[in-house]
Chain A
Amino acid sequence: MKASVSALRFWNITKVGLMAISRNKMRSLLTMLGIIIGVACVITMVAVGTGASSSIQATINSLGSNFIMIFPGAAMSGGMRSFTGESKLTPEDVTAIKAECPAVAYASAGTRTNAQVVAGEQNWGTQVWGVDVDWPFIRAWNVAEGDFFTDVDVRSSSKVAVLGATVAENLFPNGDAVGSTVRIKHVPFKVVGVLERKGGNMMGQDQDDQIIAPYTTVMKQLMGTPRINLIYVSARSANEVGQAQIEIESLLRQRHRLQGAQESDFNMRSQEEIASTSAQTSRTLSILLGSAAAISLLVGGIGIMNIMLVSVTERTREIGVRLAIGAKGRHVLLQFLLEAIALSVVGGAIGVGLGLLIPNLVTRFAGLPTQVSSGSVLLAFGFAAAIGVFFGFYPARKASRLDPIDALRYE
């Protein structure tokens, strides 16, 4: 009996609190705004952050399996690479790596130049990459039409090219690229294939906006240098990536005649290292955005406290009447606390609604990938409710401690 009486009374007092909110709709909405924005922010930020990091992950995986890149120049601290001198990497280094490193499955030279490409009346500025026949295996990137060039093409420096999907689209709108001829820096190349579409990389560059040709041809016909920009390597398995790096390191140091403590004139990055760097970046970004959102939730909470204090002052007479007709201190405390919690919970719910909607709009209009996680929704909502309790308590306690005589006399 006693329990049912207090349960009934609890419900009655809850209703009293909800009634007070619905009576002041505009003010309640404005009060909730901080919480609404905060919750919507948390969810949106986390959604954008998660979306970004999962798309980065996807593009890193699209680099190819067990992938290692060798750059010219010494490694710099913090994973940054700055290279201004001439590359010491040569095609012979590639041959040696293939022959002498057992953990290496594939290796390809890589050399790059920018060029204006003409096909009939069409004209397109793009990158031309000179690579070896191992390149499609390393990058796990196949041709969609035609064939990749052959070992013979590489050895004889044939003027053949494989077009990226974007280049093929721009130069051959009719789709008749394979078998046609393109002129790269006035040198005619025969198009033997078109690559599969791969999309943007993690920097947002279009990976399909490039032309692939034998590195021998690119070096002789387009660049005129015996040095290469890059070596692509693929280890035999994921477990052998570290072993491959050790083997390559010692081989290249020996080939480049580097003594004991002398700095290497090249450096290596594996797929995992690239991945962990970008994961770190996106994690930092998430923490940054998350704390901005947390601050807006905090400010929202202070807003609730402010309005509740105003409300307590404004309704001093009402509190006096309630106390006079038999409300106990804890009834008044509960009423105002529930009011604050209701404000923050309703605000939180509206915020969750917006938080589910906004990432969709971001994806649709800004083209950013987003992914709403249920964890962030629960976190933001729980945080909002906790803010209601925390910031509602002080004004509620103040109300409950009013003296009924003073409260009744308050003007």
Chain B
Amino acid sequence: MPADALIRLSARQACVRFGALEALGPIDLSVRAGECVVLLGPSGCGKSTLLAALAGLQAVASGSVQADAAGGSDIPGVVFQEPNLMNWATAQDNVALPLALAGVGKVERLGRAQKALNQVGLGSFSAAYPRTLSGGMRMRVALARALVNDPTALLLDEPFAAIDELGRRALDDLVLEAKRDQHLAVLFVTHSVDEAVYLADRILVLSPRPGRIMAEIAVPDVPRDPAFLTSPAFAEAAAAARRVLSAQLVAA
């Protein structure tokens, strides 16, 4: 198989089983550097499972998954549904955690953590404890933590579902900026069609369990700004995604 040098995340005929239950697959997928792929599908279809498998947190029953590093950290940045912050540590110490676990010295890791906090717009909150931050701010801390170890891939599992519309758009923009500036391969799980179209270069729609890729929808490469949200290109991609999803509902 000719290796694409830019592929950062890949799954080859990957299947996941929980005991007798087939949870996922087989799935083939690849995400290139600087590309955002969004997984869309009914709940329980294995989106999160696929993400966990790519993060190395879930073993595959057959096939293979790979998060490939080229230069950066070989551990992908991951943002889960909850911010999962250590409430006994400051925002800066929370962000610095991946570096601390990798054995990076204190001065360097705090400096890099501060930089990551600046990147998500929380530069002046480095000494704040999580309980003093709003839900959206906590998610920003989690995003900074996922970016701090200079990963080549970013995996996000419905991270902004609990956040209000405007806050969510701001966080989506941060993800897009990080993707562009750090040339990240981004795999994003969501159940919001609008969020999927806004973020994605490609949308993969999964089937109900065991999740398989039912359709791939390409989203035009136009600037992601408020105008995009009301453009025909946006409406077209969203309609295509909704068509595939409702076809599944009818089939089920």
Q: Do A and B come from one complex?
A: no
Residues of B whose CB lies within 8 Å of any CB of A are none
Residues of A whose CB lies within 8 Å of any CB of B are none
